[in-house]
């Protein structure tokens, strides 16, 4: 019991034990040890030989408060508080997870919309490039035709001048 009490004292934050509870348990443990010592002394000295030892023990134990039972109740109370705390934390975590999930879904929708816009811009750029290529080819063709037409016009002017 003493080692358990020391373990509780060292980890009181873990079990949510108050210092007054620990002092109370220490006092009960000391009382129990004192009564056990007095029982041992009574047995060794043979006090009350006309009463059986078992009867004296029952009387002594009956008068003794039940520190083990008190300790068990205290531990159960601590466990119950810890369970309630864990439940509260679990509910809070669940709310946070749902919030993060909603944010992730919102971000996903935004990414899908932006991907559509990027695809539309890419399609518009490709269409623009194709039109520019068409106009460039037409301009080259006109330039080639104009240079041929210009040569032909120069030959006609030269022949007209000669004639």
Who contacts 71 (Cβ-Cβ below 8 Å, separation ≥6)? 1, 4, 25, 28
| Helix intervals (H) in the chain | 2-10, 12-15, 19-45, 53-63, 67-162
Please report the pLDDT score of residue 9 as a whole number: 66
Per-residue pLDDT of the chain (163 residues; tens, 9 = 90+): 667 667 766 776 666 667 777 777 778 777 878 877 777 777 766 655 554 545 545 555 445 456 677 777 888 888 888 888 888 888 888 888 888 888 888 888 888 889 899 999 999 999 989 998 998 888 888 777 767 777 777 888 888 888 7
Q: How does DSSP classify residue 48?
A: T
| 22, 1 contact by CB (below 8 A) | no
The answer to pTM > 0.85 is: no
Please report the pLDDT score of residue 120 as a whole number: 92
Torsional class of 93: left (φ above 0), alpha (ψ -120 to 50), beta (otherwise): alpha
| 66, 25 contact by CB (below 8 A) | no
């Amino acid at each position: 019991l003493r080692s358990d009490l020391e373990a509780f004292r060292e980890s009181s934050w873990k079990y949510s034990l108050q210092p007054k509870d620990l002092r109370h348990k220490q006092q009960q443990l000391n009382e129990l040890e004192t009564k056990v010592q007095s029982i041992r002394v009574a047995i060794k000295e043979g006090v009350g030989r006309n009463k059986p030892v078992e009867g004296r023990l029952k009387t002594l134990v009956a008068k003794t408060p039940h520190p083990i039972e008190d300790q068990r109740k205290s531990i159960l109370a601590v466990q119950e508080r810890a369970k309630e705390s864990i439940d509260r934390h679990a509910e809070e975590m669940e709310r946070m997870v749902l919030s993060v999930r909603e944010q992730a879904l919102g971000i996903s929708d935004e990414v899908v919309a932006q991907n559509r816009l990027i695809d539309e811009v890419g399609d518009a750029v490709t269409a623009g490039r194709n039109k520019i290529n068409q106009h460039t080819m037409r301009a080259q063709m006109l330039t080639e035709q104009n240079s041929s037409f210009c040569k032909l016009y120069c030959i006609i002017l030269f022949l007209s001048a000669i004639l």
